[in-house]
Amino acid sequence: MNFIKKLFSSSEVVKDISTGVDKAFYTEQEKAGGFAMLLKLYEPFKIAQRIVLLLVGVPYMLMWSATGVKVLLGYNIDDEIIFLSGPVGTIFLTIAIFYYGGGALEGVVNRLKGDKK
């Protein structure tokens, strides 16, 4: 009998519907709170981006510097150029896009939306 009473009780139904309608629309304050939570969750990803860029970027730049020194000393560098601009260059470019792409994409989206920051 208690189950039937709960099933047809109107106070719970009205409360549940009002809660559902309230959750369907976001206020500016709720949006800001969600964005703050998203930024907090994004922090480890930013640290990973920096670590990967440093682990790959520094040696890559050192290899290009060493190649530049070899040019100044008159060595043949054809193999080094192929290596640095080929597979290693592709890896470095991928990691650089991984690091800089998020901020650049966010800037483009903000500009298209008309937000000026």
Taking only the tens place, the pLDDT of each residue in 12-64 is: 655 666 666 556 666 777 666 777 777 777 777 778 778 888 888 888 889 88
Looking at residue 113, its pLDDT comes to: 75
Q: Which ranges of 1-86 would DSSP assign to H, the alpha helix? A: 2-7, 10-24, 28-73, 78-85
Q: What is the pTM of this model?
A: 0.48
Q: Is residue 54 part of a domain?
A: yes
Q: Is residue 81 part of a domain?
A: yes
Per-residue pLDDT for 101 more than 60? yes
Cα-Cα-Cα-Cα torsion 46, 52, 54, 57, nearest 10 degrees, comes to -120
Q: Is residue 106 part of a domain?
A: yes
Q: Is residue 20 part of a domain?
A: no
Looking at residue 12, its pLDDT comes to: 62
Which of 58, 36, 48 is closest to 99 using CA atoms? Answer: 48
Q: How confident is the model at residue 74 (pLDDT cuts 50, 70, 90)?
A: confident
Average pLDDT for 83-107: 79
Q: Is residue 60 part of a domain?
A: yes
Question: Could you give the C-alpha distances from 43 to 40, 47, 71, 90, in angstroms and in order?
Answer: 6, 6, 42, 26
Q: Is residue 1 part of a domain?
A: no
Q: Count of domains in the chain?
A: 1
Percentage of the chain beyond pLDDT 90 is 0
Domain that holds residue 88: 43-113
Output the average pLDDT for the chain.
75
Per-residue pLDDT for 94 more than 80? yes
